[in-house]
Amino acid sequence: MLDGAEHIHPAAQCPLNGEQDKTMLKEIFSYANVKKARIKSDSVYMSCPKATQVDHKSFFAVEANSPDAAIKFFGPLTVQLRKVLPLSEVAKTL
């Protein structure tokens, strides 16, 4: 099942601003961690670090065995998760 995961943080608290946080992000999104978590993510979009005056937002299209597995994958990053469908599937219902 495909989930949309959204993470938001204030620009001033961006993980890309600190070396320790950069290391944490590299570990979360490392090939080894993705493989271990059995996560598939084809699309990721982020407003950071370009947005400096507003909250940073990140959007992930994630496939996982369960919602709990998807949330666990993101570690200390807080994400909102919801089921999503490709537009092509939604269009079939119109």
- This prediction has a pTM of 0.83
pLDDT of residue 56: 93
Domains of the chain: 2-91 (3.30.70.260)
pLDDT of residue 16: 87
Q: What is the pLDDT of residues 42-52, one digit of tens each?
A: 889 998 877 77
Q: How far apart are CA 92 and CA 85, in angstroms?
A: 11
Over range 66-86, report the average pLDDT: 93
Helices and strands, number each (H, E), in the chain: 4, 4
Supply the mean pLDDT for the chain.
Answer: 91
Instruction: Let me know: does 82 contact 3? Beta carbons within 8 Å.
Output: yes
